[in-house]
Structure 1
Amino acid sequence: MNDFIFYFKQGLAHILDIDGIDHMLFILAMVVFFDIKQWKKLLILVTAFTLGHSITLALSSFNIVQIDSSLIELLIPITIIITCFNNIIKTRKEQRTNYVFLYGLVLFFGLIHGLAFSNFLKMSLFESDSILLPLLGFNLGIEIGQLLIVTVFMILVTLILKTTSAIRHQHITIVVSVIIMLVSLYLLQGLLLD
Protein backbone atom coordinates (compact mmCIF):
# COMPACT_ATOMS: atom_id res chain seq x y z
CA MET A 1 0.00 0.00 0.00
CA ASN A 2 2.97 2.32 0.58
CA ASP A 3 3.87 1.95 -3.12
CA PHE A 4 0.35 2.95 -4.11
CA ILE A 5 0.38 6.06 -1.91
CA PHE A 6 3.88 7.04 -3.04
CA TYR A 7 2.94 6.82 -6.73
CA PHE A 8 -0.42 8.51 -6.11
CA LYS A 9 1.53 11.46 -4.72
CA GLN A 10 3.91 11.31 -7.70
CA GLY A 11 1.01 11.46 -10.18
CA LEU A 12 -0.66 14.30 -8.30
CA ALA A 13 2.60 16.24 -8.05
CA HIS A 14 3.38 15.67 -11.74
CA ILE A 15 0.11 17.16 -12.95
CA LEU A 16 0.17 20.08 -10.49
CA ASP A 17 3.90 20.87 -10.70
CA ILE A 18 5.05 23.81 -12.82
CA ASP A 19 7.34 21.37 -14.67
CA GLY A 20 4.16 19.66 -15.88
CA ILE A 21 2.71 22.93 -17.13
CA ASP A 22 2.16 21.49 -20.60
CA HIS A 23 -0.35 18.97 -19.24
CA MET A 24 -2.01 21.65 -17.13
CA LEU A 25 -2.29 23.89 -20.20
CA PHE A 26 -3.89 21.08 -22.19
CA ILE A 27 -6.48 20.48 -19.49
CA LEU A 28 -7.33 24.18 -19.38
CA ALA A 29 -7.48 24.39 -23.19
CA MET A 30 -9.71 21.34 -23.21
CA VAL A 31 -12.26 22.70 -20.70
CA VAL A 32 -12.31 26.47 -21.38
CA PHE A 33 -14.82 26.00 -24.21
CA PHE A 34 -17.41 24.65 -21.75
CA ASP A 35 -19.41 26.41 -19.09
CA ILE A 36 -20.67 24.91 -15.85
CA LYS A 37 -24.10 24.22 -17.39
CA GLN A 38 -22.41 21.79 -19.79
CA TRP A 39 -20.97 19.67 -16.98
CA LYS A 40 -22.14 16.39 -18.56
CA LYS A 41 -20.31 17.12 -21.82
CA LEU A 42 -17.31 18.28 -19.81
CA LEU A 43 -17.37 15.04 -17.82
CA ILE A 44 -17.43 12.99 -21.05
CA LEU A 45 -14.55 15.07 -22.42
CA VAL A 46 -12.39 14.60 -19.32
CA THR A 47 -13.27 10.88 -19.31
CA ALA A 48 -12.18 10.57 -22.96
CA PHE A 49 -8.85 12.18 -22.10
CA THR A 50 -8.50 9.91 -19.07
CA LEU A 51 -9.26 6.82 -21.12
CA GLY A 52 -6.70 7.83 -23.74
CA HIS A 53 -3.85 8.53 -21.37
CA SER A 54 -4.67 5.50 -19.21
CA ILE A 55 -4.36 3.19 -22.22
CA THR A 56 -0.95 4.42 -23.33
CA LEU A 57 0.28 4.86 -19.76
CA ALA A 58 -0.41 1.16 -19.17
CA LEU A 59 0.88 -0.02 -22.56
CA SER A 60 4.08 1.96 -22.24
CA SER A 61 4.63 1.02 -18.60
CA PHE A 62 4.41 -2.66 -19.54
CA ASN A 63 6.81 -1.99 -22.48
CA ILE A 64 4.19 -2.92 -25.07
CA VAL A 65 4.40 0.48 -26.77
CA GLN A 66 7.65 2.41 -27.00
CA ILE A 67 7.95 5.78 -28.70
CA ASP A 68 10.90 8.16 -28.54
CA SER A 69 10.32 10.56 -25.65
CA SER A 70 11.64 13.55 -27.63
CA LEU A 71 8.92 12.99 -30.24
CA ILE A 72 6.26 12.77 -27.52
CA GLU A 73 7.53 15.96 -25.87
CA LEU A 74 7.28 17.68 -29.26
CA LEU A 75 3.72 16.44 -29.84
CA ILE A 76 2.40 17.64 -26.46
CA PRO A 77 2.49 21.40 -27.25
CA ILE A 78 1.13 20.64 -30.73
CA THR A 79 -1.94 18.98 -29.15
CA ILE A 80 -2.42 22.08 -27.01
CA ILE A 81 -2.11 24.45 -29.98
CA ILE A 82 -4.62 22.41 -32.03
CA THR A 83 -7.06 22.39 -29.10
CA CYS A 84 -6.76 26.16 -28.63
CA PHE A 85 -7.14 26.79 -32.35
CA ASN A 86 -10.27 24.62 -32.37
CA ASN A 87 -11.67 26.62 -29.42
CA ILE A 88 -11.11 29.92 -31.20
CA ILE A 89 -12.61 28.73 -34.49
CA LYS A 90 -15.67 27.22 -32.79
CA THR A 91 -16.21 30.35 -30.69
CA ARG A 92 -15.77 32.77 -33.59
CA LYS A 93 -18.09 30.91 -35.95
CA GLU A 94 -20.60 30.09 -33.22
CA GLN A 95 -21.42 26.92 -35.10
CA ARG A 96 -22.65 23.67 -33.64
CA THR A 97 -19.92 21.58 -32.14
CA ASN A 98 -19.51 18.00 -33.33
CA TYR A 99 -19.06 16.50 -29.87
CA VAL A 100 -18.35 12.98 -31.15
CA PHE A 101 -15.42 14.36 -33.16
CA LEU A 102 -14.28 16.47 -30.19
CA TYR A 103 -14.39 13.48 -27.81
CA GLY A 104 -12.47 11.38 -30.34
CA LEU A 105 -9.85 14.09 -30.79
CA VAL A 106 -9.40 14.44 -27.02
CA LEU A 107 -9.16 10.64 -26.69
CA PHE A 108 -6.41 10.65 -29.34
CA PHE A 109 -4.60 13.50 -27.61
CA GLY A 110 -4.96 11.57 -24.35
CA LEU A 111 -3.05 8.69 -25.96
CA ILE A 112 -0.17 11.08 -26.68
CA HIS A 113 -0.21 12.60 -23.19
CA GLY A 114 -0.26 9.11 -21.64
CA LEU A 115 3.07 8.36 -23.30
CA ALA A 116 4.55 11.46 -21.67
CA PHE A 117 3.09 10.45 -18.29
CA SER A 118 4.64 6.99 -18.70
CA ASN A 119 8.10 8.48 -19.28
CA PHE A 120 7.78 10.31 -15.96
CA LEU A 121 6.44 7.20 -14.21
CA LYS A 122 9.26 5.00 -15.53
CA MET A 123 11.86 7.47 -14.26
CA SER A 124 10.41 7.28 -10.76
CA LEU A 125 9.87 3.49 -10.55
CA PHE A 126 11.72 1.58 -7.88
CA GLU A 127 12.91 -1.99 -8.21
CA SER A 128 9.47 -3.42 -7.61
CA ASP A 129 8.03 -6.85 -8.29
CA SER A 130 4.80 -5.38 -9.58
CA ILE A 131 4.10 -2.36 -11.69
CA LEU A 132 0.33 -2.61 -11.21
CA LEU A 133 0.06 -0.75 -7.88
CA PRO A 134 2.45 2.03 -8.94
CA LEU A 135 0.56 2.35 -12.24
CA LEU A 136 -2.83 2.56 -10.53
CA GLY A 137 -1.58 4.98 -7.89
CA PHE A 138 0.13 7.24 -10.42
CA ASN A 139 -2.89 7.29 -12.72
CA LEU A 140 -5.27 8.05 -9.85
CA GLY A 141 -2.99 10.87 -8.70
CA ILE A 142 -3.09 12.36 -12.20
CA GLU A 143 -6.89 12.08 -12.22
CA ILE A 144 -7.33 13.81 -8.89
CA GLY A 145 -4.96 16.56 -10.06
CA GLN A 146 -6.92 17.00 -13.29
CA LEU A 147 -10.20 17.20 -11.39
CA LEU A 148 -8.70 19.85 -9.09
CA ILE A 149 -7.56 21.91 -12.08
CA VAL A 150 -10.93 21.60 -13.82
CA THR A 151 -12.89 22.41 -10.64
CA VAL A 152 -10.84 25.48 -9.72
CA PHE A 153 -10.90 26.78 -13.29
CA MET A 154 -14.66 26.29 -13.68
CA ILE A 155 -15.30 28.04 -10.36
CA LEU A 156 -13.14 31.00 -11.48
CA VAL A 157 -14.90 31.25 -14.85
CA THR A 158 -18.31 31.06 -13.18
CA LEU A 159 -17.36 33.79 -10.69
CA ILE A 160 -16.06 36.05 -13.46
CA LEU A 161 -19.24 35.57 -15.48
CA LYS A 162 -21.50 36.18 -12.48
CA THR A 163 -19.70 39.35 -11.33
CA THR A 164 -19.21 41.01 -14.72
CA SER A 165 -22.04 41.42 -17.18
CA ALA A 166 -19.74 42.80 -19.89
CA ILE A 167 -17.77 39.56 -20.22
CA ARG A 168 -19.29 36.62 -22.06
CA HIS A 169 -18.07 33.04 -21.98
CA GLN A 170 -16.88 33.36 -25.59
CA HIS A 171 -14.56 36.19 -24.53
CA ILE A 172 -13.01 34.03 -21.82
CA THR A 173 -12.63 31.13 -24.25
CA ILE A 174 -10.83 33.26 -26.82
CA VAL A 175 -8.55 35.09 -24.37
CA VAL A 176 -7.57 31.96 -22.44
CA SER A 177 -7.07 29.96 -25.66
CA VAL A 178 -4.83 32.66 -27.17
CA ILE A 179 -2.73 32.88 -23.99
CA ILE A 180 -2.38 29.09 -23.78
CA MET A 181 -1.54 28.92 -27.49
CA LEU A 182 1.20 31.54 -27.12
CA VAL A 183 2.72 29.74 -24.13
CA SER A 184 2.57 26.45 -26.06
CA LEU A 185 4.24 28.02 -29.10
CA TYR A 186 6.99 29.23 -26.78
CA LEU A 187 7.37 25.70 -25.33
CA LEU A 188 7.41 24.23 -28.84
CA GLN A 189 10.04 26.74 -29.96
CA GLY A 190 12.21 25.74 -27.00
CA LEU A 191 11.93 22.07 -27.94
CA LEU A 192 12.71 22.74 -31.60
CA LEU A 193 15.79 24.80 -30.74
CA ASP A 194 17.25 22.13 -28.44
Structure 2
Amino acid sequence: MNEFKYYFELGINHILDINGLDHFFFIIAFCLLYKLSDWKEIIKLITAFTIGHSLTLILAGLNIVSMPMDLIETLIPITIMITCFGNFYFLFKSKEQQKKKGYFYTILFFGLIHGLGFSNFIKNMFFEDESIIIPLLSFNLGIEIAQLLIVFGFLVILSIIHIFIKELKWSRIIINSLILISILNMMLF
Protein backbone atom coordinates (compact mmCIF):
# COMPACT_ATOMS: atom_id res chain seq x y z
CA MET A 1 0.00 0.00 0.00
CA ASN A 2 2.93 2.36 0.60
CA GLU A 3 3.99 1.88 -3.02
CA PHE A 4 0.50 2.84 -4.25
CA LYS A 5 0.42 5.94 -2.01
CA TYR A 6 3.91 7.01 -3.07
CA TYR A 7 3.16 6.88 -6.81
CA PHE A 8 -0.32 8.34 -6.35
CA GLU A 9 1.20 11.36 -4.60
CA LEU A 10 3.89 11.53 -7.28
CA GLY A 11 1.14 11.75 -9.94
CA ILE A 12 -0.60 14.55 -8.05
CA ASN A 13 2.68 16.41 -7.59
CA HIS A 14 3.47 15.98 -11.29
CA ILE A 15 0.35 17.99 -12.14
CA LEU A 16 0.84 20.58 -9.40
CA ASP A 17 4.59 21.07 -9.97
CA ILE A 18 5.37 24.72 -10.78
CA ASN A 19 8.02 23.51 -13.26
CA GLY A 20 5.46 21.45 -15.13
CA LEU A 21 2.66 23.90 -15.74
CA ASP A 22 2.04 22.45 -19.20
CA HIS A 23 -0.60 20.02 -17.86
CA PHE A 24 -2.27 22.77 -15.87
CA PHE A 25 -2.41 25.13 -18.85
CA PHE A 26 -3.59 22.40 -21.19
CA ILE A 27 -6.50 21.17 -19.08
CA ILE A 28 -7.61 24.71 -18.32
CA ALA A 29 -7.38 25.58 -22.03
CA PHE A 30 -9.69 22.81 -23.22
CA CYS A 31 -12.10 23.22 -20.31
CA LEU A 32 -12.71 26.90 -21.03
CA LEU A 33 -15.52 25.87 -23.38
CA TYR A 34 -17.44 24.14 -20.61
CA LYS A 35 -19.53 24.98 -17.58
CA LEU A 36 -19.74 23.07 -14.34
CA SER A 37 -22.97 21.47 -15.57
CA ASP A 38 -20.96 19.82 -18.39
CA TRP A 39 -19.13 17.69 -15.83
CA LYS A 40 -19.68 14.38 -17.69
CA GLU A 41 -18.06 15.72 -20.85
CA ILE A 42 -15.23 17.26 -18.83
CA ILE A 43 -14.50 13.95 -17.13
CA LYS A 44 -14.41 12.20 -20.53
CA LEU A 45 -11.95 14.73 -21.92
CA ILE A 46 -9.68 14.70 -18.88
CA THR A 47 -9.71 10.91 -18.93
CA ALA A 48 -8.85 10.94 -22.65
CA PHE A 49 -5.86 13.14 -21.85
CA THR A 50 -4.79 10.81 -19.03
CA ILE A 51 -5.16 7.74 -21.27
CA GLY A 52 -2.97 9.32 -23.95
CA HIS A 53 -0.46 10.40 -21.32
CA SER A 54 -0.43 6.89 -19.81
CA LEU A 55 0.01 5.13 -23.16
CA THR A 56 3.14 7.04 -24.06
CA LEU A 57 4.55 6.57 -20.56
CA ILE A 58 4.17 2.82 -20.98
CA LEU A 59 5.45 2.75 -24.57
CA ALA A 60 8.42 4.98 -23.76
CA GLY A 61 9.19 3.00 -20.64
CA LEU A 62 9.28 -0.19 -22.67
CA ASN A 63 11.51 1.54 -25.27
CA ILE A 64 8.88 1.13 -27.98
CA VAL A 65 8.55 4.88 -28.56
CA SER A 66 11.30 7.45 -28.34
CA MET A 67 11.46 11.05 -29.53
CA PRO A 68 14.05 13.79 -29.05
CA MET A 69 13.25 15.75 -25.91
CA ASP A 70 13.81 19.09 -27.71
CA LEU A 71 11.04 18.22 -30.16
CA ILE A 72 8.67 17.16 -27.38
CA GLU A 73 9.39 20.31 -25.36
CA THR A 74 8.45 22.34 -28.46
CA LEU A 75 5.33 20.31 -29.24
CA ILE A 76 3.84 20.53 -25.74
CA PRO A 77 3.29 24.34 -25.77
CA ILE A 78 2.10 24.06 -29.36
CA THR A 79 -0.65 21.64 -28.25
CA ILE A 80 -1.78 24.23 -25.72
CA MET A 81 -1.72 26.98 -28.32
CA ILE A 82 -3.71 24.89 -30.80
CA THR A 83 -6.25 24.20 -28.06
CA CYS A 84 -6.55 27.93 -27.30
CA PHE A 85 -7.01 28.78 -30.96
CA GLY A 86 -9.52 25.94 -31.20
CA ASN A 87 -11.48 27.64 -28.41
CA PHE A 88 -12.11 30.59 -30.73
CA TYR A 89 -13.45 28.21 -33.37
CA PHE A 90 -15.59 26.19 -30.96
CA LEU A 91 -16.91 29.29 -29.24
CA PHE A 92 -19.55 29.56 -31.94
CA LYS A 93 -20.33 25.84 -32.16
CA SER A 94 -22.69 23.75 -30.07
CA LYS A 95 -21.45 20.98 -27.77
CA GLU A 96 -22.79 18.43 -30.27
CA GLN A 97 -20.73 19.99 -33.07
CA GLN A 98 -17.65 19.85 -30.86
CA LYS A 99 -18.19 16.13 -30.28
CA LYS A 100 -18.59 15.51 -34.01
CA LYS A 101 -15.29 17.25 -34.68
CA GLY A 102 -13.43 14.61 -32.69
CA TYR A 103 -12.46 16.75 -29.73
CA PHE A 104 -12.10 13.63 -27.59
CA TYR A 105 -9.54 12.17 -30.02
CA THR A 106 -7.69 15.46 -30.29
CA ILE A 107 -7.32 15.60 -26.51
CA LEU A 108 -6.24 11.94 -26.47
CA PHE A 109 -3.60 12.66 -29.14
CA PHE A 110 -2.31 15.69 -27.25
CA GLY A 111 -2.13 13.50 -24.13
CA LEU A 112 0.22 11.22 -26.05
CA ILE A 113 2.53 14.18 -26.70
CA HIS A 114 2.41 15.40 -23.10
CA GLY A 115 3.19 11.89 -21.84
CA LEU A 116 6.40 11.86 -23.86
CA GLY A 117 7.54 14.93 -21.95
CA PHE A 118 7.68 12.89 -18.76
CA SER A 119 8.87 9.64 -20.30
CA ASN A 120 12.57 9.90 -19.38
CA PHE A 121 11.72 10.29 -15.71
CA ILE A 122 9.36 7.34 -15.92
CA LYS A 123 11.97 5.14 -17.62
CA ASN A 124 14.35 5.73 -14.75
CA MET A 125 11.77 5.26 -12.06
CA PHE A 126 9.16 2.67 -12.97
CA PHE A 127 10.98 0.28 -15.17
CA GLU A 128 13.73 -0.70 -12.76
CA ASP A 129 11.43 -3.16 -11.02
CA GLU A 130 9.69 -6.15 -12.53
CA SER A 131 6.20 -4.98 -11.64
CA ILE A 132 5.17 -1.70 -13.20
CA ILE A 133 1.42 -2.15 -12.88
CA ILE A 134 0.93 -0.65 -9.40
CA PRO A 135 3.31 2.28 -9.96
CA LEU A 136 1.80 3.23 -13.34
CA LEU A 137 -1.78 2.74 -12.18
CA SER A 138 -1.36 4.76 -9.00
CA PHE A 139 0.72 7.47 -10.75
CA ASN A 140 -1.90 7.94 -13.47
CA LEU A 141 -4.73 7.85 -10.94
CA GLY A 142 -2.96 10.66 -9.08
CA ILE A 143 -2.71 12.61 -12.35
CA GLU A 144 -6.41 12.07 -13.08
CA ILE A 145 -7.55 13.16 -9.61
CA ALA A 146 -5.32 16.26 -9.60
CA GLN A 147 -6.55 17.29 -13.05
CA LEU A 148 -10.20 16.85 -12.06
CA LEU A 149 -9.70 18.87 -8.88
CA ILE A 150 -7.99 21.69 -10.77
CA VAL A 151 -10.66 21.87 -13.46
CA PHE A 152 -13.61 21.64 -11.10
CA GLY A 153 -12.05 24.24 -8.80
CA PHE A 154 -11.48 26.52 -11.78
CA LEU A 155 -15.05 26.01 -13.02
CA VAL A 156 -16.53 26.64 -9.57
CA ILE A 157 -14.69 29.96 -9.41
CA LEU A 158 -15.91 30.86 -12.91
CA SER A 159 -19.47 29.88 -11.95
CA ILE A 160 -19.36 32.19 -8.96
CA ILE A 161 -18.02 35.03 -11.11
CA HIS A 162 -20.73 34.27 -13.69
CA ILE A 163 -23.38 35.09 -11.08
CA PHE A 164 -22.14 38.68 -11.14
CA ILE A 165 -21.16 38.95 -14.80
CA LYS A 166 -23.78 37.40 -17.08
CA GLU A 167 -21.84 37.74 -20.35
CA LEU A 168 -18.92 35.77 -19.00
CA LYS A 169 -18.86 32.83 -21.45
CA TRP A 170 -17.47 34.66 -24.45
CA SER A 171 -15.18 36.94 -22.53
CA ARG A 172 -13.93 34.06 -20.36
CA ILE A 173 -12.99 31.95 -23.35
CA ILE A 174 -11.42 34.80 -25.30
CA ILE A 175 -9.54 36.44 -22.44
CA ASN A 176 -8.26 33.23 -20.88
CA SER A 177 -7.23 31.77 -24.23
CA LEU A 178 -5.34 34.96 -25.08
CA ILE A 179 -3.62 34.90 -21.69
CA LEU A 180 -2.53 31.29 -22.21
CA ILE A 181 -1.33 32.04 -25.74
CA SER A 182 0.72 34.97 -24.41
CA ILE A 183 2.29 32.87 -21.67
CA LEU A 184 3.13 30.13 -24.14
CA ASN A 185 4.59 32.63 -26.57
CA MET A 186 6.95 33.75 -23.81
CA MET A 187 7.83 30.11 -23.05
CA LEU A 188 8.60 29.29 -26.68
CA PHE A 189 10.60 32.39 -27.56
TM-score by length of 1: 0.87
Corresponding letter in the other structure for 1:146: Q
Shift of 1:127: 4.3
Corresponding letter in the other structure for 1:107: L
Shift of 1:141: 1.3
Does residue 1:138 correspond to 2:130, yes or no? Answer: no
In structure 2, relative to structure 1, the CA distance for the partners of 1:137 and 1:174 (3 Å cut) is same
Partner of 2:149: 148
Measure, in 1, the Cα distance between the counterparts of 2:176 and 2:99: 21
Shift of 1:89: 2.6
Partner of 1:34: 34
Corresponding letter in the other structure for 2:71: L
Partner of 1:192: none
Stretches of 4+ moved more than 6 A in 1?
Answer: none
Measure, in 1, the Cα distance between the counterparts of 2:121 and 2:149: 20
Measure, in 2, the Cα distance between the counterparts of 1:40 and 1:9: 25
Does residue 1:95 correspond to 2:96, yes or no? Answer: no
Shift of 1:179: 0.5
Identity %: 46
Measure, in 2, the Cα distance between the counterparts of 1:13 and 1:171: 31
Measure, in 2, the Cα distance between the counterparts of 1:154 and 1:177: 15
SS at match of 2:118: helix
SS at match of 1:98: helix
Q: Is this contact kept in 2: 1:5–1:137, CA < 8 A?
A: yes
Shift of 1:125: 4.5
Measure, in 1, the Cα distance between the counterparts of 2:75 and 2:64: 20
Query: What are the within-5 Å matches in structure 2 for residues 28-67 of structure 1?
Result: 28-67=28-67
Partner of 2:10: 10
TM-score by length of 2: 0.90
Measure, in 2, the Cα distance between the counterparts of 1:2 and 1:38: 35
Measure, in 2, the Cα distance between the counterparts of 1:184 and 1:24: 12
Corresponding letter in the other structure for 2:3: D
Q: Alpha carbon RMSD of aligned pairs, Å?
A: 1.8
SS at match of 1:67: coil
Partner of 1:112: 113
Q: Is this contact kept in 1: 2:51–2:108, CA < 8 A?
A: yes
